A = this chain, B = another copy of it.
Amino acid sequence: MDHKIRIVLSVRLFTDEKCFGPGVATLLRKVQELHSLRAAAMDMNMAYSKAWTIMKKAEQELGFRLLNSTTGGRHGGGATLTEEGAKLIEAYDGFCRELQGTADRLYDTYFADF
Contact = CB atoms under 8 A, between A and B. Distances in A.
A45 interface: no
Interface residues of A, number: 40
A9 B88 CA distance: 17
Q: Copies of this chain, how many?
A: 2
Contacts of A114: 62, 87-88, 91
Contacts of A9: 9-12, 99
Contact of A10 (B1, B10, B15, B106): B10
Interface of A: 1-16, 18-20, 61-64, 87-88, 91-92, 94-95, 98-99, 102-103, 106-107, 109-111, 113-114
Nearest to A113: B87
